[in-house]
């Protein structure tokens, strides 16, 4: 199992951010089912201000560039994805040539790896 970390910004509007949070209190069942069907075992999203941080666990052979959007093959999941993008924007440091919506983050510290 691999752990992935990605980040994204929300449009900096308190009312829209509150709407986004409300959607995620009870995500559509088709979305949660679709994410599990593509192999995501666990997903957590944190927010501070308008910045989102997402961590998810998936099988070792999972490739976010190719596998993640497979969940959106379901029309209801595509509807969710399209709706969520109206609240989101890529982070300022995202590469303009990068086709991913969420920006992948590099691991810089792992407490487990620090054990003697």
Q: From first to last of its 116 residues, what are the pLDDT tens digits of the chain?
A: 999 999 999 999 999 999 999 999 999 999 999 999 999 999 999 999 999 999 999 999 999 888 888 988 999 999 999 999 999 999 998 877 666 789 989 999 999 899 77
CA distance 14 to 67: 32
* Tens of pLDDT, residues 75-104: 999 999 999 999 999 999 887 766 678 998
Furthest CA-CA distance within the chain:
50
User: Length of the chain, please?
Assistant: 116
Number of domains in the chain: 1
CATH of residue 29: 3.30.70.1090
Structural domain boundaries, residue 93:
2-114
pTM recorded for the entire structure:
0.88
């Amino acid at each position: 199992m691999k752990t992935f970390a990605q980040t994204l910004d929300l449009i900096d509007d308190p009312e829209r951010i509150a709407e986004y949070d409300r959607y995620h209190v009870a995500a559509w069942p088709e979305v949660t089912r679709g994410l599990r069907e593509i192999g995501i075992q666990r997903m957590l999203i944190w927010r501070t201000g308008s910045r989102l941080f997402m961590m998810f666990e998936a099988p070792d052979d999972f490739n976010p560039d190719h596998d993640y959007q497979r969940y959106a093959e379901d029309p209801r999941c595509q509807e969710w994805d399209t709706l969520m993008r109206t609240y989101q924007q890529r982070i300022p440091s995202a590469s303009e040539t990068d086709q991913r919506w969420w920006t992948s983050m590099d691991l810089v510290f792992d407490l487990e790896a620090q054990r003697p």
